[in-house]
Amino acid sequence: MRTIGHFVGGQPLSKTVRTSDVYDPNTGTVQAIVELGDAALVDEAVCNAAAAQIGWAATNPQRRARVLFEFKRLLERDMDSLAYLLSSEHGKVIADAKGDIQRGLEVVEFACGIPHLLKGEYTQGAGPGIDVYSMRQPLGVVAGITPFNFPAMIPMWMFAPALACGNAFILKPSERDPSVPVRLAELLIEAGLPAGVLNVVQGDKTVVDAILDHPAIRAVSFVGSSDIAQYVYAKGAQNGKRMQCMGGAKNHGIVLPDADLDQAVNDIMGAAYGSAGERCMALPVVVPVGDKTADALRDRLLASIDGLRVGISTDAEAQYGPVVSAAHKARIESYIQMGVDEGAELVRDGRGFALQGHESGYFLGPTLFDRVTPDMKSYQDEIFGPVLQMVRADSFEAALDLPSRHAYGNGVAIFTRNGDYARQFADRVDVGMVGINVPIPVPVAYHSFGGWKRSGFGDLNQYGTDGVRFYTKVKTVTQRWPASVAGGAVAPDQSFVIPTMN
């Protein structure tokens, strides 16, 4: 049996304390075991990181960027093998696995611009003979804790800007698909990153708590479900760390009567069922405005659903593959039953779907509910599976209210041809990322990613210039030099009053 270990001090490290099984979701069999670290291992990784960070921070930003340029080339070289490895543990289809890697790679591309991004601010003559300048310095050792659903993209969201800024990084990936993060660490070494600057410690809550308690870790970025995000945020902040914690989601797609319905259906299908719905920017709720729109949308959705192909992750024709685990499959099925019990109309039931030859895989067919209402728990909770819920609204205002009042506020989309409605919607909706005729509005790498309400705890978003802010601290220098030439600075008389510009 293959064992997946840690990566510390520039090399693989095996320290078996406890282990966890890693499944192939296509077959439901254990394909590897992953070692789970502990506080001692976190400390060992932090010691390596702290020692390596000094030299890395002293390396000029252009040279740090060159390592990232080379890392990007290696990611492109190994795209196929990385995608296969990723989908074998996660279950997403190969094309989608490549998208996972590509979206991370785009953040690496952004981070290659770090010499420009780190330029500070300067004010000449802020006072008599006084100049002021600000510079951004790395925090030191920082950490990232990532979820199972994007095992390549989300680690890169975090470590690309962190490393570019001159930090050393401790990555704690999901224990459910832990192989790709180790491969990324190996590629960084091949790209020229000094040993110890990026370390991977596999594990579960024990390692997360050790990271949050370690005094030398200055900042922690977390992405995962909301209850855990809130716990991690509170514990890390209590320990004086800078925190950014992204949580779960329940994103709505609003369909106005004037929308291009064929386009909207195409978009909603991909966003609801792609990756088996295991995306924090999936669209699991569709809100048609008016019964006429709802009926037309439902007919078109059904036609698409009935033609949808579910297959193993290496099936090039499949639109989506299995969900990640047996436990997650059972959880999704229990939410489908909950929807039925709560009185929603089950139009298509994905339970009981079996793929010939892969009967033990974690497959679910596409599920569609109609006449879902906001009081239902199955609407309020994140299901994170191939389940689309239709909530009918009778007006634009009612449709706008639904995502605004929902506890989650990650993403939202509106489908319309009317610019005025679209503009008002984007302005007023209480959600962090908005798509206008764009179903999955994940911002490009040079903007930044972050949800509101229970979808995000902390002030700064992932990547973009927010990423640079998160992984740096500002130092401001106010300087005056003794006069050596005529017209130079004249030292003021002794004063016991706070200096002002008067």
Would you say 179 and 258 are in contact if contact means Cβ atoms under 8 Å apart? no
Among 87, 149, 179, 378, contact with ligand NAD (rule: CB under 6 A): 149
Among 38, 109, 204, 401, contact with ligand NAD (rule: CB under 6 A): 204
- Neighbouring CB atoms inside 10 A of 398's CB total 13
Q: What is the contact mask toward ligand NAD in residues 406 to 425, using x (rule: CB under 6 A)?
A: ----x---------------
With a CB cutoff of 8 Å and minimum separation 6, the contacts of 161 are 107, 110, 111, 114, 463, 467, 468, 470, 471
Q: How many CA atoms lie within 13 A of 45 on its CB side?
A: 32
Among 248, 322, 403, 464, contact with ligand NAD (rule: CB under 6 A): 248
Is residue 169 at the binding interface for ligand NAD, with CB under 6 A as the rule? no
Is residue 145 at the binding interface for ligand NAD, with CB under 6 A as the rule? yes
Q: Which range of residues in 182-190, 223-231, 349-357, 360-368 is near ligand NAD by CB under 6 A?
A: 223-231
Is residue 18 at the binding interface for ligand NAD, with CB under 6 A as the rule? no
Burial of 104: CB neighbours in 10 Å, binned 0-12, 13-18, 19+: buried
DSSP string of 297-309? HHHHHHHHHHT--
Q: Which range of residues in 65-73, 167-175, 263-271, 289-297 is near ligand NAD by CB under 6 A?
A: 167-175
Q: Which range of residues in 94-102, 108-116, 172-180, 288-296 is near ligand NAD by CB under 6 A?
A: 172-180
Among 19, 20, 59, 225, contact with ligand NAD (rule: CB under 6 A): 225
Is residue 202 at the binding interface for ligand NAD, with CB under 6 A as the rule? no
Strand partners, 320: 310
The distance of Cα 307 from the centroid of its chain, to the nearest Å, equals 31
Smallest separation (angstroms) from ligand NAD to the CB of 491? 53
112, 165, 245, 280: the active-site residue: 280
For the question of residue 280 being annotated catalytic, the response is yes
Q: Which range of residues in 135-143, 241-249, 329-337, 364-372 is near ligand NAD by CB under 6 A?
A: 241-249
Would you say 469 and 134 are in contact if contact means Cβ atoms under 8 Å apart? no
Q: Which range of residues in 160-168, 218-226, 308-316, 474-482 is near ligand NAD by CB under 6 A?
A: 218-226
Smallest separation (angstroms) from ligand NAD to the CB of 145? 5
The residue count for binding ligand NAD (CB under 6 A) is 26
93-132 binders of ligand NAD (CB under 6 A)? none
Nearer to ligand NAD, 145 or 310 (CB): 145
Would you say 265 and 304 are in contact if contact means Cβ atoms under 8 Å apart? yes
Q: What is the contact mask toward ligand NAD in residues 252 to 291, using x (rule: CB under 6 A)?
A: ----------------------------x-----------
Give the C-alpha distances (Å, rounded to integers) separating 369 from 48, 262, 310, 401.
52, 20, 19, 20
Among 228, 308, 346, 347, contact with ligand NAD (rule: CB under 6 A): 228
Tokens of 6: 């840690």
Length of the chain: 502
Is residue 246 at the binding interface for ligand NAD, with CB under 6 A as the rule? yes
- 3-class SS of residue 95: helix
- Judging by DSSP bridges, how do beta strands 2-4 and 6-8 pair with one another? unpaired
Q: How many CA atoms lie within 13 A of 481 on its CB side?
A: 10
Smallest separation (angstroms) from ligand NAD to the CB of 30? 18
Nearer to ligand NAD, 233 or 425 (CB): 233
Angle at 281 between CA 434 and CA 300, to 5 degrees: 85
Smallest separation (angstroms) from ligand NAD to the CB of 218? 19
Helix orientation angle between 61-77 and 153-164, rounded to the nearest 10 degrees: 160
Would you say 254 and 412 are in contact if contact means Cβ atoms under 8 Å apart? yes
- DSSP 8-state class, residue 392: -
Nearer to ligand NAD, 184 or 393 (CB): 184
Is residue 249 at the binding interface for ligand NAD, with CB under 6 A as the rule? yes
Give the C-alpha distances (Å, rounded to integers) separating 41 from 13, 176, 202.
10, 19, 10
Distance CA 281, CA 453 (A): 15
Q: What is the contact mask toward ligand NAD in residues 340 to 379, using x (rule: CB under 6 A)?
A: ----------------------------------------
Among 378, 455, 461, 472, contact with ligand NAD (rule: CB under 6 A): 455
Smallest separation (angstroms) from ligand NAD to the CB of 465? 17
Strand blocks (E) in 129-216: 130-138, 141-145, 168-172, 198-200
Smallest separation (angstroms) from ligand NAD to the CB of 328? 8
When CB distances to ligand NAD are compared, the closest residue is: 224
Would you say 320 and 274 are in contact if contact means Cβ atoms under 8 Å apart? yes
Calculate Rg over the CA atoms of the chain: 25
Q: Which long-range contacts (CB under 8 A, 24 or more apart) does 120-128 make?
A: 126/478, 126/501, 127/480, 127/499, 127/501, 128/489, 128/490, 128/492
Among 91, 140, 147, 435, contact with ligand NAD (rule: CB under 6 A): 147
Would you say 152 and 104 are in contact if contact means Cβ atoms under 8 Å apart? yes
Is residue 146 at the binding interface for ligand NAD, with CB under 6 A as the rule? yes
Contacts to ligand NAD by CB under 6 A: 145-150, 172, 174-175, 204-205, 208, 223-225, 228, 246-249, 280, 382, 384, 410, 451, 455
Residues designated catalytic? 280
